[in-house]
Amino acid sequence: MTDEQLLRYSRHILLGEIGIEGQQRLLDAHTLVIGAGGLGSPAAMYLAASGVGRITLVDDDDVDLTNLQRQVMHTTGRVGQPKVESGREALAQINPDVAVTALRERVAGARLVQLVASASVVLDCSDNFATRHAVNRACVAAQVPLVSGAAIRFDGQISVFDARDAFSPCYACLFPEEAGFEDAACASMGVFAPLVGVIGAMQAAEALKLLIGITPSLAGRLLLLDGRAMEWTSIGVARNAACPVCAHPG
């Protein structure tokens, strides 16, 4: 670690739970962020500021004027640009030492499995169940921890699904794919701007804890936020022994 890095990350290093060794783990880590919108913006920005060495941003959308109310990684001047390119520019301004890979694509299948397997932790900041389930399956297969967040209207949620732990549920244990949950789009339902900042920042916090080794994580718990009343609800989530994604014989 250079003298400049020691100074940049000094407030982390002062924390006994992190120190120089923990900060070095962040510098050596690779995070995969699926979605560069409302949740992905604060999550990626905090990961970069915290010194995560490599960040891969995945999103196939362009910056739109309607995004700017909540997607703080993007600016008016970058309307029309691919979100991942706008995001790479924003993260470089925060911390030029972070290596950011911008992938303008909707990943799936073998490509998704490959990307997940290369990551230390995955942050699902997407906005649809199909992507969430695909990311979950890839994380279970690769035994890579997943930090999942969602936000709509005034309601947010976050949890961690850690396939390295035999007792930890996966996303499909909580939201079975066959249950047929319907996607709720911001374009039709609306979303309270600071809500995505709260959930996205918490996703970054959980990811950093996983990378450093700070326990406990949110694995086995689902946090729900009522943004109107500003009340949190914590729900215990058990592993489903019959889950088609993560269940194993015996």
For the annotated catalytic residues, the residue numbers are 186
Residue 65 buriedness (CB in 10 A; 0-12 / 13-18 / 19+) = exposed
40 vs 32: CA distance, rounded Å:
10
Q: Count the Cβ atoms, other than its own, within 10 Å of residue 192.
A: 18
Cα–Cα nearest to 182, from 127, 124, 227, 237: 127
Asked whether 120 and 25 are in contact (CB, 8 A), the reply is: no
What does the alpha-carbon distance between residue 157 and residue 174 come to, in Å, rounded to a whole number? Answer: 12
Contact indicator for 238, 169 with CB cutoff of 8 Å: yes
Residue where the block lists tokens 């060495």: 53
H/E element, 137: helix 129-142
**Rounded alpha-carbon distances, angstroms, from residue 108 to 91, 103, 105, 127, 172:** 25, 13, 9, 15, 17
Strands 221-226 vs 155-161: parallel, antiparallel or unpaired: antiparallel
Structure tokens that stand for 220 in this block: 């086995």
